[in-house]
């Protein structure tokens, strides 16, 4: 089964559900799935220009749309990070083995810890950002005899890689903070009214919890 089910934040749009259904109903015992592995990450990011864009809402051709700016900050933004924007190490949010994942596991809560990069300590951090990797013939090698000779390959949407149409997903902090090592948790749930959309809650230890939506089109 070959499927391009990937969305923003890896699992937005709930398209993986169809692959899981097809896998459980039709995949042969020695059949393979491509991609067969997917991993979602989170890190701290400098996003000075993107954060500055929020200020433009206060004077847009003489009109003040700052009320919309406040709402926009709660919509996770699909954007490409600037070069050398990472301020911290990465934390894994979700690791998907396509042969084992269930639909229910796409809703989850995970604790994480980020280590500040030594040369970026104290620099302004404007957002947390997520990206993902896709593996091909990764999990499959233990499944079928012919897969052992296949080339294991990976597609990455890492901020330092050429930007793809998935870009990265930005979660802007309510206020910028000095880059430092930090801990927190992320809670991911499907929207109760639009299941293809996601509700994301992010809590950084010592700061107020932030809530975001990942929607089909940015506000």
Burial of 155 (0-12, 13-18, 19+ CB in 10 A): middle
Number of H helices and E strands in the chain, helices first, is 3, 10
| 121 contacts 94 by C-beta, under 8 angstroms | no
| 191 contacts 33 by C-beta, under 8 angstroms | no
pLDDT digits 0-9 by tens, 159-183 = 999 999 999 999 999 888 999 999 9
pLDDT for the residue numbered 214? 94
Is residue 219's pLDDT more than 50?
no
With H, G, I as helix, E, B as strand and everything else as coil, classify residue 206: coil
* For residues 113-130, average pLDDT: 96
pLDDT for the residue numbered 5? 97
For the ranges 45-49, 87-91, 209-213, the lowest mean pLDDT is seen at 45-49
For residue 164, what are the contacts with CB-CB under 8 A and spacing of at least 6?
A: 155, 157
């Amino acid at each position: 089964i070959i499927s391009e089910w990937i969305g923003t934040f890896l699992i937005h749009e709930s398209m993986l559900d169809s692959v899981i259904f097809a896998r459980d109903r039709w995949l042969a015992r020695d059949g393979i799935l491509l991609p067969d592995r997917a991993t979602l990450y989170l890190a701290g990011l400098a996003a000075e220009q993107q954060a500055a864009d929020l200020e433009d809402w206060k004077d847009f051709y003489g009109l003040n749309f700052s009320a919309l700016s406040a709402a926009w900050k709660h919509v996770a933004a699909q954007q490409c990070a600037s070069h050398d924007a990472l301020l911290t190490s990465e934390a894994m949010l979700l690791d998907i083995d396509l042969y084992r994942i269930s639909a229910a596991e796409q809703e989850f809560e995970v604790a994480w810890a980020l280590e500040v990069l030594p040369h970026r300590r104290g620099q302004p951090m404007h957002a947390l950002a997520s990206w993902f990797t896709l593996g091909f013939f990764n999990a499959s090698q233990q499944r079928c005899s012919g897969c052992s000779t296949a080339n294991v390959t990976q597609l990455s949407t890492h901020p330092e890689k050429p930007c793809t149409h998935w870009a990265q997903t930005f979660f802007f902090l309510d206020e910028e903070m000095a880059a430092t090592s930090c801990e927190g948790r992320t809670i991911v749930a499907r929207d109760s009214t639009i299941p293809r959309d996601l509700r994301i809650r992010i809590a950084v230890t010592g700061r107020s919890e932030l809530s975001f939506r990942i929607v089909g089109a940015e506000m």
